[in-house]
Amino acid sequence: MQFVSTRGQAPVLGFSDAVLAGLASDGGLYVPQSWPQFSTAEIASFAGKSYADVAYAVISRFVGDEIAPAKLKQIIDDSYGVFRHPSVAPLVELAPGHFVLELFHGPTLAFKDVAMQFLSRVMDHILAERGLKATIVGATSGDTGSAAIEAFRGRDTTDIFILHPQGRTSPVQRLQMTTVLDANVHNIALDGTFDDCQNIVKAMFNNHNFRDRVRLSGVNSINWGRIVAQIVYYFTAAVSLGSPHRPVSFTVPTGNFGDIFAGYCAKAMGLPIDKLIIATNANDILRRTMETGRYEMAGVAPTISPSMDIQISSNFERLLFEGAGRDAGAVVRMMDGLKQSGGFAVPENALSAIRRGFAAATTDEATTRATIANTLKAADYLLDPHTAVGVHVAQQNLGAIPMVTLATAHPAKFPAAVKDASGIDPALPAWLADLYDREERLSVLANDQQAVEDFISARTRAA
């Protein structure tokens, strides 16, 4: 399997090189050259299989022969062996025909663990085989960072540098990152927003001198290695609800568009997904784009679902590439518009393709709180604020086809917002019970690419 850049100017790479590259050298994102297909019989055969076995079936299609089957199987088994639920990603029925897919049974209580546990092991394997070390960077609004730090801590092949927006994560999210004291872990609290963190990460990738010198690699969902692992749970969820013999719809609380793009990939591979619904908080750039056909930046508003406080939704570029018939030139023009004037018009062919496959709606803050309270009352189920954004949107779209809302985080990651909405103070699980008492380590840096590059250069072992 080969991977091409959405901007058309970067080398075509195999799986291992695409994973190590993170962002393509032309600033684009890697996508598979073509979508592997599953037949109806193959999808039906997933019924009753373990999560790890379905993960192997899906992921191996993208890896090809680059990793020996037994090794890949071991990486996948080890990745999902750390999850606290035997199903890894169980479904819970909230109301007739409406399910939540619990993706928070990993070590840091958010869906990011599902991909990050795999990505850290696969990168470690590729680097060890090549006798290399890499510098891992990531931007986080809270969850990617904690999952990445947990997955990469103590690894000999990598040093990891995570940028978070100072004061804009929940305290639990911050502590999950800053209390990890392994020598290869470096937390940077940036004086800015998540978008500022993400812009610096992308700018470092586009500084080829620096990128090559420190052997830069990324853990955000710009890395194809993240998306590939997130495709799996669309298959396991849909199959347990009767696919491929009946379609299923998904509502996804969305920020950087990685999670819902994985749903698009599952559909492109043959899974009968009816609707993919984008659920946004007040930072509703994606819903506005769907309505108006213009992607237009506005300021970032802090919300009680802070992990989705995002304006530059990186993976939307992958969808634009697909929607525009894989016209890399059109993607370059759109991204130039974004850089130069903070917005662009989505070409008509891309817009109608996107509107055919996706719907979008926004949940405001008061409704998010009300959804947490009402779901507790009606279903005796405590939602985190991100999942609540999704559940409300899903409730407006229920019908004959089963609806799955992705439950992207555990309520205990956002205790203040959850208590305010429900009166319940969700307890952290035993392994995090002393989180507030642990020692913290972080460095506060200005919103300045040079300052971040200097900080990394002085500490990485990969240079």
Ligand X SMILES: Cc1ncc(COP(=O)(O)O)c(C=O)c1O
Ligand Y SMILES: N[C@@H](CCOP(=O)(O)O)C(=O)O
Give contact residues for ligand X (rule: CB under 6 A).
Answer: 110, 143, 221, 253-259, 307-308, 386, 408-409
- 120 interacts with ligand Y by CB under 6 A: no
CA–CA separation, 263 and 330 (whole Å): 23
Nearer to ligand Y among residue 240 and residue 256 (C-beta): 256
Element (H or E) spanning 314, and its range? none
- 230 interacts with ligand Y by CB under 6 A: no
- SS3 call for 322: helix
Query: Of the listed 49, 71, 73, 112, which one is catalytic?
Result: 112
Among 28, 165, 253, 258, binds ligand Y (CB under 6 A): 258
Max CA separation in the chain (angstroms): 58
CA–CA separation, 455 and 448 (whole Å): 11
**Cα distances (angstroms) measured from residue 3 to each of 23, 373, 418, 434, 442:** 12, 45, 41, 43, 36
Pair of tokens at residue 454? 């200097």
Among 6, 79, 120, 140, binds ligand Y (CB under 6 A): 140
CB of 259 to ligand X, least distance (A): 3
CA–CA separation, 374 and 160 (whole Å): 40
Among 255, 263, 270, 385, binds ligand Y (CB under 6 A): 255
CB of 141 to ligand X, least distance (A): 6
Task: Write the burial class of residue 208 (CB in 10 Å: 0-12 exposed, 13-18 middle, 19+ buried).
Answer: exposed
Question: Which of ligand Y, ligand X, none lies near 220, with the C-beta cut-off 5 to 8 A by kind?
Answer: ligand Y
- 244 interacts with ligand Y by CB under 6 A: no
Pair of tokens at residue 332? 């370059």
Nearer to ligand X among residue 29 and residue 110 (C-beta): 110
Nearer to ligand Y among residue 157 and residue 256 (C-beta): 256
Question: Which of ligand Y, ligand X, none lies near 249, with the C-beta cut-off 5 to 8 A by kind?
Answer: none
**Residue 365 DSSP code:** H
Element (H or E) spanning 276, and its range? strand 273-280
Binding piece for ligand Y, criterion CB under 6 A, among 4-12, 17-25, 120-128, 250-258? 250-258
Nearer to ligand Y among residue 240 and residue 315 (C-beta): 315
- 307 interacts with ligand Y by CB under 6 A: yes
Residue 63 half-sphere exposure, CB side, CA atoms within 13 Å? 25
Among 256, 305, 363, 374, binds ligand Y (CB under 6 A): 256
- 112 as an active site residue: the answer is yes
Which alpha helices (H) appear in 269-359, and where do they start and end?
Answer: 285-292, 316-323, 328-341, 348-357
Nearer to ligand X among residue 110 and residue 346 (C-beta): 110
Tell me how many residues contact ligand Y (CB under 6 A): 13
Nearer to ligand Y among residue 38 and residue 224 (C-beta): 224
CA–CA separation, 49 and 274 (whole Å): 23
Residue 354 contacts residue 64 (beta carbons within 8 Å): no
Catalytic residue positions, numbered: 112
Interface residue list for ligand Y (CB under 6 A): 140-145, 220-221, 255-256, 258, 307, 314
